[in-house]
Amino acid sequence: MLERLKEFNRLSAAFNQARSLPTLSDAILACLKQMNGCARGGVWLRPYRSNEPVLMGSFGYDDGSSPMPQVHNAYNLLCAPLCYRESILGFIQAEAHDSTSFDELSQELFATLANQAAVALENARLFADVQETYVETISSLANALEARDNYTKGHSERVTQYSMAIAQVINLESERLQILKHAAMLHDIGKIGIKDIILNKNGRLTQDERATIERHSVLGDLILGPCTFLAGVQKIVLHHHERYDGLGYPEGLSGENIPLEARIIAVADSFDAMTSDRPYRQALSLKHAIEELQKGAGTQFDPALVEAFLSWLSTHHLLTHIAGKASEAA
């Protein structure tokens, strides 16, 4: 009994670290499996901003997608709602071996588990709410930046699209995709601190003006600094202008010392810059932009990522998409 309690407490402590529904579901299922005599179990959780609970996971059933209990007596099936204040956020189910019952300790553990899981689920939902609010706020700042200059309208969205396309080709791990998406959307956020007279200068920049522009990645790092949950994004924003050969800024990192997501954004950012009009030049043709990417592979860009992007380009009708940007600006 003591060992069961210790293991149950250890597993339930993981609830405090759960920040996503799959992680929380896995922790709950691990606890259910530790209940004496538990043969089958399931977890239904209500996703963020949804009214209907969905089955997140189960064990012990032939068809894990639709666990149907077999009630043999009053105590072989336990089911409890996950209630927080007046809201039902989901429910959990545990089923004993056929023709057996859960003992009193298991019933008490199950009730405790339901209470802890409800609090953890509400915390996860609040965390998601805070994340969304932060990202929406900072994205609004990024949109405000682009509104200062019609030449960069839609730039962040396109860089995000291209970055996610590269990630798809190289099979980037799923847990890194959201970080990449946020970083691509916010990669130029530091330009909010650059004066319009420099940012939109119609002509060649002086050495001092160039140095000011290059500070935008550091400024972006400073802007995102207070958002602790965006720490991974912050690092990518800081380094998205590093070069593969070490001649970039702000720290002169090279090769794989540059975060992978920053290397992805570097390719996407450069491609969109080349295929968009600027105050000092017209957009390059698609053919010319591809040639420039190939020329920069191994020096400015990670060659494997250039190859991945060009592979994606060859299978998508990007000419129509790029032409559509002109009508957006109009």
CB-neighbour burial class of residue 106 (10 A; exposed 0-12, middle 13-18, buried 19+): buried
Of 162, 211, 157, the closest CA to residue 186 belongs to 157
Backbone φ/ψ region at 239: left (φ over 0), alpha (ψ -120 to 50), beta: alpha
Is-catalytic flag, 191? yes
Contact 49, 26 (CB under 8 A): no
Query: Of residues 153, 191, 235, 295, which has the active-site annotation?
Result: 191
Residues forming the active site: 191
